[in-house]
Structure 1
């Protein structure tokens, strides 16, 4: 079948992207689902900094690639041996397709699945397949087993979570990355506690979701840090009790003063080593610093090694919110439906697939939180 999709042929294009056009809108051939595969009509796909990191080259991937990883849709067809999914089901995509059988999956740490990591690195589905072909007969790679910037896509069941059909699909898309990653980092990775302080550095979709997660667990105070005042206002709406402009000369001292000596949990949601160092500096003795953002592989972190021992500090990484998607996506959706997570506040605006390059310019400059492509 034919599908229109946004394809990235090479990384590190010059900005602005509205001029260099790194993403090409192409009509591709999409193969029908084979055994163990599912055809999904994409309803909505959000633009995320993880997509931007591939476009700008800080998160290298194999090229060419059908982009997009935060998406929702409706099942159209299932291949043989697929269990748990049927045509008409509403689904959210999971961008890390865990096998469910290895030691990591068995211990509840699905994001460490080696098969899933290998497939994502190779640009294939978990089963090794590539389903897109361009007009020259060239096979295209999948972005994180999703390729959500396409009208239709094929995924394996391990990349899908069935959801409540009452949830609007353009809201549902954000649960696949922003909410799963941000709320998960607070709940699953840091295990933040009621009445304990949380500081969030960086207020994109993931950072704002972390603020929501901190409010949901009853953390106090919740300090949001960002250089943009508009983002700080969004953080207040999401549940921050205090905000700090990151450009202020005493930003770290301000966080430490608000939290009375340092945050019990500090989360970095930018992908910047400098911001991670600031988050660590704002963490209390005995506290946890959690890195959520994806820095360039060449960046190196410099902290006092002595502080890890003498202050019993904990430095943690959190990929996809340490989540088990089939467990966490439904429960986070339930929290939204019960007014606990105001996820709708993340959506900035709807855009068309054809406007995607200019939209990534806006994301780069911090003008938007979550722009959502809504497919008709």
Structure 2
């Protein structure tokens, strides 16, 4: 028998989000059913419905979540019923060229924008975001899309490990390899940007310059580890250079996903510095850079996909860091809400308000 659960459904780009009954299949061989306990509202979910991406609809949103295993299919050995797990929206196959060359975050078979799974109450074929559709009471996913974590880990913090924390911390530690004494700028202070600030400060970077369009995010930025806070304006790159003895920062992290902020990050980095694009942008939003500037600046421009991480290894490490107090995620969570309040959380995120909203599900 399939399961009927409540989930946040998008019926089309730009349409109102609704909480609806959806029907999920029973776990097949190698699959597990997870009762979701907490799920973050991530900007990548917004990209699914605001026209940045073009997934199929109807679509259950959500990909950053944690919960408890309630059923397993035949052949499942990775987890057991009652295990606490974090969901992984890009599980590595461990067999493709990228996985065999130690780049599982680029796995050829992972990260599909939407997967057909289940049906709506009116019988339409249902799709789930990034193979998960985690803004729902339950999900059915392949066993390699879950990672066991200690039961002592709070649900809200556990959920954020699956995307915002893994992405932001990984961008700093894995992609850029920030070290003590390096200067850092982080542009865009959603959950991922705040996680990047936390990681940069923990690495001993300084100054750590936080940038956003909203003055209201100053306290969040300072709590996450920023030494300086700037409201973005036309002089932003010049101001960042003034804070770094005229050079620019060693590492500029762009956590917005827009060509304009990528160019600003480029101008904010020193000669020979790194520009790391963490935000996911639109296909038609092209970045223009001078060929002479590229040559003369000797900067490196690269992206950080899923924090250049191996979630199977790094999620348990991050969970231990949260539990021992060496990683604080408190500044990342500004709203704890029920599922019915998720549409309003998407509206706040579109306006650039707050950091992460986390949907908490009852027992």
SS of structure 2 residue aligned to 1:43: strand
Could you say which residue in structure 1 is the equivalent of 2:13?
Answer: 11
Q: Deviations over 1:9-56 (max 9, x none)?
A: 10123xxxxxxxx22221122111010100000001111111111111
| Cα distance, 1:171 vs structure 2 | 1.4
Could you say which residue in structure 2 is the equivalent of 1:257?
Answer: 242
Could you say which residue in structure 1 is the equivalent of 2:341?
Answer: 355
**1:1-376 → structure 2 map (5 Å cutoff):** 1-13=3-15, 22-117=16-111, 120-121=112-113, 123-124=114-115, 130-247=116-233, 249-260=234-245, 261-376=247-362
Distance in 1 between residues matched to 2:99 and 2:357, nearest whole Å:
32
Distance in 1 between residues matched to 2:264 and 2:77, nearest whole Å:
47
Is 2:217–2:354's contact at 8 Å kept on the other side of the alignment?
Answer: no
Q: Deviations over 1:323-351 (max 9, x none)?
A: 11111111122222233322122111211
Distance in 2 between residues matched to 1:136 and 1:12, nearest whole Å:
21
CA RMSD of aligned residues (A): 1.3
Q: Deviations over 1:64-112 (max 9, x none)?
A: 1111011110001111111120001111111112212112112221121
**Which 4+ residue blocks in structure 1 deviate beyond 4 angstroms?**
none
Runs of at least 5 residues in structure 2 that lack an aligned partner in the other structure: none
Is 2:168–2:195's contact at 8 Å kept on the other side of the alignment?
Answer: yes
Q: How many residues align?
A: 359
Distance in 1 between residues matched to 2:339 and 2:48, nearest whole Å:
18
Q: Deviations over 1:294-345 (max 9, x none)?
A: 1111100011223333332100111111111111111122222233322122
Distance in 1 between residues matched to 2:236 and 2:298, nearest whole Å:
24
- Normalised by the length of structure 1, the TM-score is 0.92
Distance in 2 between residues matched to 1:262 and 1:336, nearest whole Å:
32
SS of structure 2 residue aligned to 1:213: helix
Is 2:180–2:205's contact at 8 Å kept on the other side of the alignment?
Answer: yes
SS of structure 2 residue aligned to 1:116: coil
- Normalised by the length of structure 2, the TM-score is 0.96
Distance in 1 between residues matched to 2:251 and 2:261, nearest whole Å:
15
Is 1:97–1:145's contact at 8 Å kept on the other side of the alignment?
Answer: no
| Cα distance, 1:135 vs structure 2 | 2.5
